[in-house]
Amino acid sequence: EVQLVESGGGLVQAGGSLRLSCAYSGFTFDNYAIAWFRQAPGKERERVSCISSSGGSIYYADSVKGRFTISRDNAKNTVYLQMNSLKSEDTAVYLCAAGYICPRATRYWGQGTQVTVSS
């Protein structure tokens, strides 16, 4: 039914940029809020950003605020995460997740895409 597929990960040097995409399908009523999480070895899963179904409400973790930008194109069923000024600390598997509202955007999950920032 509901599916989310991340893409755009890869290897990038510190200070560089990368844009992740989360393509979703199977929403039967309306668009869901979409959140980006990241998971690195030895660290707790962190919610990086979230955007409401309409795009009217946006959240960023303090660790990425000012560097990352979340956006969505509902016509293309895609949410983006533009990552600039990347640091080695940003290295992680990035996953997108969906829910009715941002605080509950953990019902459906993608498989993740690896982002590696070299120094």
Q: What is residue 98's predicted lDDT score, i.e. its pLDDT? A: 96
Q: What is residue 14's predicted lDDT score, i.e. its pLDDT? A: 98
Note the helical H segments in the chain: none
Q: What is residue 28's predicted lDDT score, i.e. its pLDDT? A: 75
Main-chain dihedrals φ then ψ at residue 3, nearest 5 degrees? -135, 145
CA 92, 85, 39: angle at the middle one, nearest 5? 15
Q: What is residue 1's predicted lDDT score, i.e. its pLDDT? A: 86
| pLDDT tens readout for residues 82-114 | 999 999 999 999 999 999 999 999 999 999 999
